[in-house]
Structure 1
Amino acid sequence: MTEQFNNLIAQFWPTTVDGVVKGAIYALIALGYTMVYGVLRLINFAHSEIFMTGSIGALVVVTTLVAPTAGPVTGLGLVGLLLLMAVVSMAASGGMAVLLEQIAYRPLRKHGSSRLAALISAIGASLFLMEFFALVVIPWLFDRGGQGRNQIAMARFLEREEVFTIFGASVSNNDLLILAAALLMMFLLDQLVNRTKIGRGIRATAMDPQTAVLMGVNIDRIVRITFLVGGAMAGIAGMLFLLKYENTRYNIGFILGIKAFTAAVLGGIGNIRGALVGGFVLGLVENYGGAFFGGQWLNVVAFVVLVLVLMFRPTGILGESIQQARA
């Protein structure tokens, strides 16, 4: 136990830096879970595949525009490439999320089906998308010869360089880019929900759908926008994940999706700012647990956190729903 504690102390700052960056990705994915739950009271378990779609979209841009032996991209070319990756990943994930809502959830909602039916539909959609990408989309996009289940590596176009250190822990340009992009998207989403007409519609629908309809809110439009925005956040997360780990695969969202759901529950499911807090907390706790117990325990730590939160504080850290959020 003493050796494990000393190991944690020795790795504390590098573990913290990596945990914050990882937590930013968790938080972006968690936003989709918490927005859909806040509006529909539905856990969209297919959201993990929405995240995977974003990573594939970003990878398509890189493989199309950057040759494997081209080396680092710099200057305006790098800025343009990153922006294009962001746009494509957001469009791919957002479009897939809207399509998912249209096909898997809206018919059930129109017929007044139970939440259990919607949950089963979500699980079925998740499994379908995983296998569809593995057997059709990935082989077609990347000419894998039917080996779409293998990891697909990304050509490194961004040279990782140390920008500064924190108590000996290196902070690279890649870490700063991921964190800055994540924080910007979180800020923009917070402003959208709390400062715009669309945001008022989302909060009104989450609070009382029947009254919102009487006040002129188009519920179908709001639900569609909610899936679109949540999907776009997952798309950006997919792009940032690709920048950090430089590979993706058909089931990359499975474990990450559960962890992001854990982050949403930890912060307070249905609470946008809670999802952000939960993502960063989970990233740090998971990394600290991995440094203490060993890297093979990373996933165990995350799932233990989920169980403990559900047992002792099921409402999460902030514990308020989306309609109660205020700027």
Structure 2
Amino acid sequence: MPVQYEQSIIKVLAYFDIFNYPLTLEETYHFLDQPVAMDDVLLTLQQLVDDNRVFRMGIFYSLQQDPALRTRRINGNQQAGALLATGYKVGGFLYQFPFVRGIGISGSLSKNFADQNTDIDYFIITHTNRLWIARTLMHLFKKLTFITGHQHLYCMNYYIDEAALRIDEQNIFTATELITLLPVSGNGTIDRFYDQNNWAGNYFPNQPVKKESRSLGRSGWLKKTVEWLLDNKAGNRLDNWLMRITTRRWAKKEQLQKTNAHGIRMGLHIGKHFSKPNPEFFQRKVLDSLEEKLNCQQVIEFKHTN
């Protein structure tokens, strides 16, 4: 079996191994970085299992010989079903905020996994030059959810507007998040987002980048009214002012090296047309972990062949 098939499969398993998430044969195939026939994937996986470089646990494959990962995954998939139903309802509600043009579910839930600590993460597209008004209104609402203890259902941590649909950071982390994004509601903007980010297909040629939106969002009268009231120079000034306030507040958080409830360093990458987690923190940590795992696998491969 060609060595490059083995390397591609190891790379896929190593990436999801960072999250202790074993994969099925079909999932391994879908996340490969080159077009390969399913039969060849199966044969290569079997050879890797025979060589004790990959471990099979029922229908799952992993770089770790730990049966507990299989149990964790099965339980996580079951819990994700119920939480996803909630996520779609909440996402439809969030679409009714002024200037929101698209809502998607991202994070671990978009990979069909949840546990007792899982938040529902949302990817949000707003109208051009109104991101900071939309974001501020949504986060003011989120403060109310802390009263009832439902804040984990409203993690709105990634915003872009219609002027910045193409993702700047193009790597395996962002490609994975894009390819697994679950569209909830929109007015066609999410389709344009996928068109602008077809580069992700270079990372995962065995699956389509574009996914159909679950439903077309319909704007309520309150949303339309607020948008009409702020469709002017005053709206422009308000959006810029809110961006400056948020920038100062988050600069202080990064200076103090604050972490969130999961112990992850908090940081926000801010611009006029985007508000997203600082890629130098969690994203960089994942990419560094992947490189470390692949280096370890090269050592294992060298020992096996010698």
Max radius of gyration: which structure?
A: 2
Which category describes the TM-score, using the shorter chain as reference length? Answer: under 0.3
Relative contact order higher in (CA < 8 Å, ≥ 6 apart): 1
TM-score by length of 2: 0.23
TM-score by length of 1: 0.22
Larger strand proportion of the pair: 2
